[in-house]
Structure 1
Amino acid sequence: MAKGDMGIDDERSLMSEYPDFYSHGKKPIHEVLSQHALTTPQKVALNFYGREMNYGELDHLVNRFAVYLLQLGVKEGDRIALFLHNCPQYMIAHFAVQKIGAIVSPCSPSFKAMELSYQISDMVAKIVITSDTLYPIVTDIQEDSPLQHIIVTHYGDLLPGDPSFHCPDELLQERRATPFAHDFFTAIEQVTDEQVEYTVFPSVALEDVSLLVYTSGSTGRPKGAMLSYGNALFKTAASAMANEVLDGDRILAVMPLCHIAGMLMGMTIPIYTGCKVVLLYRFDPVAVAEAIAEEKCTWWYSTAPMNVAIMQAIPSGRYNWSSLTTNVCTSFGIQLTEDIANRWRAYTSGTPVYEAAYGLSETHTADTYMPRHAIKWGTQGIPIYETEIRIVDLQTGENLPVLQDGEIVVRSPGVFKGYWRNIDATKKTLRDGWVYTGDLGRIDSDGYLTLIGRIKEMMKVSGFSVFPEEVEALLMHHPAIAQVAVIGIPDEKRGEVVKAFVVCKSSKEDQKVVESDIIEWAKENMASYKVPRYVEFREQLPMSSAGKILRRLLIDGAS
């Protein structure tokens, strides 16, 4: 059967009967990296604006940095914070920390001092690895933190003299002074090959915690989800299989590595499969276009706003993107619709784009995948290998039949071990191996999951349940709207009513749109209880570093 003729039943058969799921054996990802370094040491592992690093060199740097951390007194189970933008140093540090049995905890590089202070203190981090540009934020919190050491790198240390594609100005700046800190590459250079050879690294077990990912904190303070080596291995192998990633692929990595989806798609999948990753510091339309064309990238994980931004900024046909065969995408900020997908396919002369997955930090993300040959728009796809998804009643917890809305619960080998130092939250979320996600959704007769919204963000309008994502998806059909976010605000008669925050498209015609235009259009296109009673126009919406709309900031501003 040709792949183009496959349907949903064929996809399920492929996932359930896969003959060699763990193609490298059941071992942590850092051991898979070492295996590649032995078998294909000269194969290029990553490209950073033209600076290439092969698997042998990458593993060599990981080993040296791991020895240095041991020399600093890092022990198994110690928490090490990574406070960095995308760069090769991030990957080196991530695998080095896990190689010695310590725990990696990513911190968003968009954090300000109070946010960083909370996470560093909550995890009781022994060391933070950061950049010279972020170093001042670390020094602001250091005195009242548990930190014993600060290790600093300069993003330009691994840039080529003449970058191959458009490079952000901040990477080209001179190194900033960082007194009282260890230098990343000076530390590595101090470790000899002999020291590496005679170091006995700890023997880690797949069930050991290796990653502490803090949730977004949409319901209270962020919580650290404890994920194991085995969680990462399972979800990496399952996602690589579902997305058909092979060792000959060239993956473009733009999403933040500190985000669980960016980590999976841009770091662990490339290392696991042994393919090449083209790593960008951040999203830039020109850099993405040049990287895909020059490096002949075959695979890209994007967000819908990225695709739209590229189509707006760069004329179609300027670059040859014939190599790009796979573009999985997440609807952050802008809903990925069939219309956008059709425009993208025409713009790129044939590249398909479709929803990537549903997932959360507590399951190492990607609990579903979208079968590329059986796409259902508006859904998040079907459960990935060895993953069970149920919809349960919010009050009784009983299983609900197809097409009924309820809480999404998930069980798989990717499920986390609980929240760091938070027994009550763990008991509430993790029950008999099932993660109660706090998300509302439904499953159709073909097994496709549709995400409706967060339970905590659900609005009650005149007794009707209204979900922000549903109203946002409907409003995105308005020809003048580029982005939209919806919240509920108190109302004496209805309990709550809908308020929409709208970013208009840039044309002069769209700039003439007023509040009443949006409301009248909504009345014609959705149930009355879903219609926004208020519309506020914004130039931009508050976003997380991963591109998620931060509705809680809109709610706080409206209260």
Structure 2
Amino acid sequence: MQEFKTPEEFNAALDESANHGMTVAFWADQAPDRTAVVDPSGREKTFAEVNANANKLVRALRKAGLKAGDSLALLCSNRAEFIETLAATQRSGLRITPVNWHLTVDEIAYIIKDCEAKALVAEARVAAAAPAAAECPDLLIKLSVGGDIEGFLNYETTLAAEDGSDIPDPVRGGQMMYTSGTTGRPKGVHRANAPVIPPSMLALRGYDPKTSVQMCAGPAYHAAPLAFDVNASMNAGVPLHFIDKWDSEHVLKTISEKKVTHFHLVPIMFQRLLSLPPEVKANYPIDHVEYIVHGAAPCPPEVKHAMIEWFGPVLSEYYAGSEGGAGFTITAEEWLKKPGSVGKRPQMLQVRILDEEGNELPPGVPGGIYHQLPPGGGFTYYKDEAKTNANRRDGFFTMGDVGYFDEDDYLFLTGRNAETIISGGVNIYPQEIDNELIKHPAVADSATVGIPHDEWGEQVRAVIMLKPGYEPSDQLAQEILGFGRQTLAAYKVPRGLDFVTELPRSEAGKIQRNKVRAPYWEGRARQI
């Protein structure tokens, strides 16, 4: 074990390990027997075990022909192999793309091919893994986790044949998350030279390697849990408790009994915890919790007030996107003074509020939110120059959000001009749904929108115009929704359907989704 004379030397070595993707190796050296990850099943792995398997996986991938700069797709639920695969890509120069394993075969295959993956690590429980992989002829190696998949090598068997010592030539890898616009097909957010955030900075969130415990209650393939739960625990050298499926009392019990100090949630999770009976809440002390970070969806003020009253002023809210940008954060103390804000104007990179002509707007006037691109250009949408350029203006880019700064430079979100539906913190793209519903023989036109929902924030609703000869009925509505279930992932299927005699279109022929949506939101503020 490497020894350090001062905390400054320790932090310098930790930060240097991040430059080579070797933070897990650093912690394996410093605290080899410390628990690194706890599966939902209760299986535990130490930092030494995770680190050894990461090294073994690198060697197996290299034998298959992968080299730095290549891509790996990960189709895996919240379990230890997720961490091991991530650690392997971080030190081998590979670009990892975690894939939502709830997607359909076609959707999964599209992402695997679009990110140009040469390796696929997939979990046996994902039925779509084998047929999706069959559509991807460029894969050099396919590994199955948690059981066997036809045509795949077994993960454990493959790694057992490899050397677990630290690789001598680590190269920092990266990740490419997938996001999407209203066209429905996801796009990779690619950063050729992503900055390395020094792990020692995690101390600012109150991390102590000897006492802190992390929980991940959301899917690790999502950008926020991946950043705030998974990568944070790996970099801070603290145990990570994975939750596989949301159960409010189980989550609260985990927080209480495992002495969880840090975790990321979305507002619907707040609401579900708060809805537990008082006698259940009383069974689980939570006074050890130090840091709860949240974002991804609007949090009703009354919900946030209730969470602060219960857990204390330990909430930190963020506003950002997969594309990056300056990033906004606001502490509980600040938020109580500026309820509804997502934070003060950042110091390092500029943020502007612009009208449609590109003019900067004064405080209190809503407009498009534009974030300054960092030196070097920041990100591109992978293999889509048109989409990359479409959201940029004079060195700034927008994620389609609308808001304003107040007189104290605090940002408030008032909506978004992107058509994305955010339901329970999950992005759903209406055009993708319309593209499937329009295939039904009775449907002349479709405009899917998000309508108000007290628990989820928004709920998916299909608005349908029928072809001549068809009459609206409950039976036909259920038939169309059932048709959608055949090709759409379950969470994308509309929860209800309304028939109309016409749908508003612009002179250019585009459906004016904002006009379709408006009646549902009458008298209510629609936020991001």
Normalised by the length of structure 1, the TM-score is 0.68
- 1:139 — aligned with what? 131
- 1:253 — aligned with what? 216
Q: Is the 8 A contact 1:360 1:366 kept in 2?
A: no
Q: Is the 8 A contact 1:408 1:440 kept in 2?
A: yes
The Cα of 1:178 is off from its aligned counterpart by 1.9
**Which residue of 251, 257, 260 maps to 1:288?**
251
- 1:168 — aligned with what? none
Task: Find the aligned partners of 1:133 and 1:109 in 2 and give their Cα distance.
Answer: 9
The Cα of 1:228 is off from its aligned counterpart by 4.9
1:190 matched to 2:161? The reply is yes
Deviations 1:10-51 (A, max 9, x none): xxxxxxxxxx99972484373222222222323332222443
**Which residue of 72, 82, 93 maps to 1:80?**
72
Task: Find the aligned partners of 1:482 and 1:221 in 2 and give their Cα distance.
Answer: 23
Task: Find the aligned partners of 1:123 and 1:484 in 2 and give their Cα distance.
Answer: 30
Task: Find the aligned partners of 2:75 and 2:58 in 1 and give their Cα distance.
Answer: 18
Q: Is the 8 A contact 2:266 2:295 kept in 1?
A: yes
Give the residue type in structure 1 aligned to 2:186. Answer: P
1:276 matched to 2:239? The reply is yes
The Cα of 1:222 is off from its aligned counterpart by 1.2
Q: Is the 8 A contact 2:452 2:520 kept in 1?
A: no
Change in Cα spacing, 1:403 to 1:236, as seen in structure 2 (3 Å) is: farther
- 2:28 — aligned with what? 37
1:67 matched to 2:30? The reply is no
Query: The residue matched to 2:281 in structure 1 has which SS?
Result: coil
Change in Cα spacing, 1:330 to 1:79, as seen in structure 2 (3 Å) is: same
Task: Find the aligned partners of 1:255 and 1:74 in 2 and give their Cα distance.
Answer: 30
Give the residue type in structure 2 aligned to 1:374. Answer: E
**1:336-351 map, 5 Å:** 336-346=299-309, 348=310, 350-351=311-312
Task: Find the aligned partners of 2:348 and 2:203 in 1 and give their Cα distance.
Answer: 12
Normalised by the length of structure 2, the TM-score is 0.72
Give the residue type in structure 1 aligned to 2:53. Answer: L
Give the residue type in structure 2 aligned to 1:31. Answer: M
279-288 or 183-192, which moves further after superposition?
279-288
Task: Find the aligned partners of 2:243 and 2:22 in 1 and give their Cα distance.
Answer: 25
Q: Is the 8 A contact 2:451 2:460 kept in 1?
A: no
Give the residue type in structure 2 aligned to 1:40. Answer: A
- 1:224 — aligned with what? 188
- 1:377 — aligned with what? 339
The Cα of 1:311 is off from its aligned counterpart by 2.9
Deviations 1:289-329 (A, max 9, x none): 22111110112211111122223345220212221232222
Task: Find the aligned partners of 1:431 and 1:483 in 2 and give their Cα distance.
Answer: 31
Task: Find the aligned partners of 2:460 and 2:100 in 1 and give their Cα distance.
Answer: 25
Task: Find the aligned partners of 1:409 and 1:236 in 2 and give their Cα distance.
Answer: 28
1:361 matched to 2:318? The reply is no
Task: Find the aligned partners of 1:42 and 1:141 in 2 and give their Cα distance.
Answer: 36
Query: The residue matched to 1:151 in structure 2 has which SS?
Result: strand
Query: The residue matched to 1:108 in structure 2 has which SS?
Result: coil
**Which residue of 104, 119, 131 maps to 1:112?**
104
1:322 matched to 2:308? The reply is no
Change in Cα spacing, 1:435 to 1:260, as seen in structure 2 (3 Å) is: same
Query: The residue matched to 1:58 in structure 2 has which SS?
Result: helix
Structure 1: runs of 5 or more not aligned? 1-19, 155-174, 459-471, 492-514, 516-528, 537-548, 552-559
Task: Find the aligned partners of 2:359 and 2:464 in 1 and give their Cα distance.
Answer: 31
The Cα of 1:105 is off from its aligned counterpart by 0.9
User: Alignment length, in residue pairs?
Assistant: 433
Query: The residue matched to 1:316 in structure 2 has which SS?
Result: helix
Deviations 1:470-498 (A, max 9, x none): xx99977xxx877545989899xxxxxxx
Give the residue type in structure 2 aligned to 1:128. Answer: L
256-265 or 399-408, which moves further after superposition?
399-408
Q: Is the 8 A contact 1:242 1:369 kept in 2?
A: no
Identity of aligned residues (%): 21
Query: The residue matched to 2:418 in structure 1 has which SS?
Result: helix
Task: Find the aligned partners of 1:236 and 1:27 in 2 and give their Cα distance.
Answer: 7
Task: Find the aligned partners of 1:260 and 1:21 in 2 and give their Cα distance.
Answer: 27
1:452 matched to 2:444? The reply is no
Task: Find the aligned partners of 2:519 and 2:61 in 1 and give their Cα distance.
Answer: 57
The Cα of 1:98 is off from its aligned counterpart by 2.8
- 2:3 — aligned with what? none
Task: Find the aligned partners of 2:462 and 2:203 in 1 and give their Cα distance.
Answer: 40
Task: Find the aligned partners of 1:293 and 1:382 in 2 and give their Cα distance.
Answer: 33
Task: Find the aligned partners of 2:222 and 2:396 in 1 and give their Cα distance.
Answer: 23
Give the residue type in structure 2 aligned to 1:293. Answer: S
Change in Cα spacing, 1:88 to 1:138, as seen in structure 2 (3 Å) is: same
The Cα of 1:129 is off from its aligned counterpart by 0.7
